[in-house]
Structure formats: C-alpha cells, structure tokens
Amino acid sequence: MLNFHIPNRQRDEKIIILIRRHYFIILIKFLVWIILAILPFLFYLMMSNVLKGFLPAELFYPIVTLFASIYYLYIWLFAFYSFVDYYLDSWIVTTRRIIDIEQKGLFNQTISEQQLYRIQDVTSEIKGFFATFLNYGNVYVQTAGELERFIFKQVPNPGLVAKKISELAEENKRFNRLLADADEKISTK
Amino acid sequence: MAIPLSIFYYLYLFFILVFLAFSFFNVYTLLRFGFLTLSNLIIVVFYLAVSVLILTISWNYIGQIDWHQSVYFASTL
C-alpha cells in the first residue's frame, strides 16, 4: 500500500501515511446506487399494468427493455465514477511533506503540499454518530503563515493520524535545527 | 400517426456511445492519476467485465425485437 507514487518525490523521501476517506463513506454511496438499482423492480411490480394501458402493446416491451438497459448501465457508470472519486482523493504524509491530492470530477485534480517543519498545529475532530461509532473524522493541519488549513477529510483514526503528524513535524523541526546549527558552525570556521 | 420503432433503437445507441465515452474517461482517470498498479487493474477489469455483462444481457433482449416495424399511435391511444 505504501508503494505509492508521490508527486515531485525528493531524495530519501519515504511515505509514512497514505490515507483515503473511511470505507463507510464509499459504502454509503454504494448503498444509494444499490437502492436506485432496486427501484425499477418495485416500480415495475406496482406500475406494470398502468404502463401497459398507457403505452401501445408493441411499444411496451422495446421501451421497457431499452430503458432498463440504459438505466443499469448508467447506474454502474456513476457507481464507478463515485469509486474513482473516492479512490483518487488521498492524503500522503512523507518524511518531509504532507500532500493533499484532491480529485474534483474527471478532468480536475488538485495537489497541494506543505513541508512538515512548517506545521504549527494539528487538530483532530470526530463529529456525528457514525463518525464516533466508526472512529473517523477530520484532521486539521495549520502551517506557519498560511491562512488556509490542510484538511484530511473523514479519515479513519483521526486522533492517531494527528499524533503521528505532530511527531513527524517535531522530528523534522529538530532535524532542520541541527542542520542549521551545523551550517552556522561551518560558516563561522 | 406511425413512428418507426428504430428511432428508439438509435436513441439507445446514442446513450451507449455516451456511456462508452464516459467509461473511457473514468478508466483513463483512474490509470492516469491512480497509476498502473495491480489493484487498479483489477478494479478496471471488474468494471469492464460487469459493463460487458450488462450489455450482453441487454443485447439478448434487444436482439429479439423487430426494429423495422412502426407503431401507430392514433389507433392505439
């Protein structure tokens, strides 16, 4: 899972966390598509006699067949589209950066990144019945000088993710301080 | 008034074309941005397999219809 392509990968950069929205989010979307797939059966059972009276007999069978075929093809297409949207929305925490990859429709992908040492504050939030029960929520990452926050949306174990990002940010800051000290010593010599 | 049944068939073919185009863009997006990994390939193959299954089942029914006939509305309504 962690063997994932990351944009503009730097030398020695390793992926620590790769997360998507909680499974429950895509499950809910699929549930909607399943309900929509069942609906025509119920509609046909209840309304077939009415429809037969409304449409000419030689038109009834072709229309129902074509409609059913198109309906199920498009249900399948939109369900797949929901999955693609879910699958491509991801957040990556590496040893140096946090990367937010957001898929907005088919032809629009936004990638934002922030250096770990610039992180000032990490907050996790679990809100709502299902979120509390299934342990998923948002993680807000505030960086120095940035008005906008990085938001990891509806991710599993937000508390753990926030803790891990804080630890990595601290580690990164310590490492950067050491590098700066070493540079200073070299320049004074 | 008589309308040829084939109109519905051509309309259906148009929807199929749109379906194929959007399927292509979906698969392209998944492979382009999600990368050519084994899990991605399995997802794509599964999607294509179910799509072919729906089209095959549809064709079994649609193939039985005589699309050359016309429907007379005035006499039936």
- pLDDT digit string (tens) for A3-24? 556 667 777 788 888 899 999 9
The residues of B whose Cβ lies within 8 A of any Cβ of A are 5, 8-9, 11-12, 15-16, 19, 22-23, 25-26, 29-30, 33-35, 43, 47, 50-51, 54-55, 58, 61-62, 65, 67, 69, 71-73, 76-77
Q: What is the mean pLDDT of residues A91-120?
A: 87
Rounded CA gap, A169 and A174, in Å?
9
Residue/partner pairs of B5-13 with CB below 8 Å, 24 or more apart: B5/A58, B5/A59, B5/A62, B5/B65, B5/B66, B5/B67, B5/B68, B5/B69, B5/B70, B5/B71, B6/B67, B6/B68, B8/A62, B8/A63, B8/A66, B9/A62, B9/A66, B9/B62, B9/B67, B11/A66, B12/A66, B12/A69, B12/A70, B12/B62
What's the number of domains chain B is made of? 1
Please, which pLDDT band fits residue A181 given cuts at 50, 70 and 90? confident
Residue A29: pLDDT band with limits 50, 70, 90: very high
B72 located within any domain: no
Distance between CA A70 and CA A81 in Å, rounded?
Answer: 16
pLDDT band at A57 (very low <50, low <70, confident <90, very high): confident
Shortest distance between the Cα of A74 and any Cα of chain B, in A, equals 7
Q: Do A65 and B62 touch (CB under 8 A)?
A: yes
Please report whether residue B40 resides in a domain: yes
The pLDDT, as a whole number, for residue A60 is 81
Write out the residue range of the structural domain in which residue B51 sits. 19-66
- Is residue B61 included in any domain, yes or no? yes
Interface confidence (ipTM) of the complex: 0.89
Of A101-110, A127-136, B65-74, the poorest mean pLDDT is in B65-74
Q: Does residue B10 lie in a domain region?
A: no
For residue B30, tell me if it sits in a domain: yes
> Does B12 fall in a domain?
no
Q: Is B24 a domain residue? A: yes
B25 lies in a domain?
A: yes
- Across residues A75-95, what is the average pLDDT? 92
Residue A1's pLDDT is 44
